[in-house]
Amino acid sequence: MPLYRGFKKDGSSSPNPPVEPTRRIARPEAGNRSRPGGVPATAPVGTTSPAAATINTLSDLVVGWLVVIAGPGRGAVLSLGYGVNDIGRGAGARLCLNFGDETIVSENQAAIIYTMRSRRFYLQSVATGTWLDGHMIRESVELKGNETLQIGQTRLRFVPLCGPSFDWCAGN
């Protein structure tokens, strides 16, 4: 008598090779059907897990702002989120500075990174022409707050919300 496909109680194997276990294929279900007894059907393929929903929620939370203080787009406010905030003129940039300043690189000029673990902001220059308080940025620099960035002809003021005293994840 086999215990598990292909193996017998005495340790010998059966003449037939072990069969690979069957796999269940999840298919999207039409509508919101439930199983008999009121048990909801399994979640359709492509839905997000609770962990993924938390990540999506975090990306929507504001951790700080960049305010255009001079140049094209003066007065515009750009919200910073958790993680990497790419700054550029192109549509792929999280912080799009497409206000008419052609001196800004069409892809990504720089990035502001907010790390949840350390609760700090960092400015990383990707292309030349990124200035912080009058100094050209060549490497990653920590931002404390109220610094002035210049990208092309556009000047921006960095205003943090999150930091050592407050973070959305800390539940303050």
Q: State residue 9's pLDDT score.
A: 58
Domain that includes residue 133, residue range: 55-170
Sequential pLDDT tens for the chain (172 residues): 444 455 455 555 555 555 555 555 555 554 444 444 554 444 444 444 555 555 556 768 999 999 999 999 999 999 999 999 999 999 889 999 999 999 998 889 999 999 989 999 999 999 888 999 999 999 999 999 999 999 999 999 999 999 999 999 876 5
Q: State residue 150's pLDDT score.
A: 96
Tell me whether residue 131 is in a domain. Answer: yes
Q: How far, in Å, are 23, 115, 127, 167 from residue 138 at the CA level?
A: 53, 20, 9, 28
- Looking at residue 111, which CATH number applies to its domain? 2.60.200.20
Q: State residue 16's pLDDT score.
A: 57
Q: State residue 41's pLDDT score.
A: 47
Tell me whether residue 3 is in a domain. Answer: no
Q: Which two tokens stand for residue 34?
A: 């439930």
Q: State residue 15's pLDDT score.
A: 56
- The C-alpha atoms of residue 112 and residue 80 are separated, in whole angstroms, by 8
Tell me whether residue 96 is in a domain. Answer: yes
Q: State residue 60's pLDDT score.
A: 82
Domain count, the chain: 1
Tell me whether residue 42 is in a domain. Answer: no
Q: State residue 164's pLDDT score.
A: 93
Cβ-Cβ contacts under 8 Å for 47 (sequence gap 6 or more): none
Burial class (CB in 10 A: 0-12, 13-18, 19+), 1: exposed
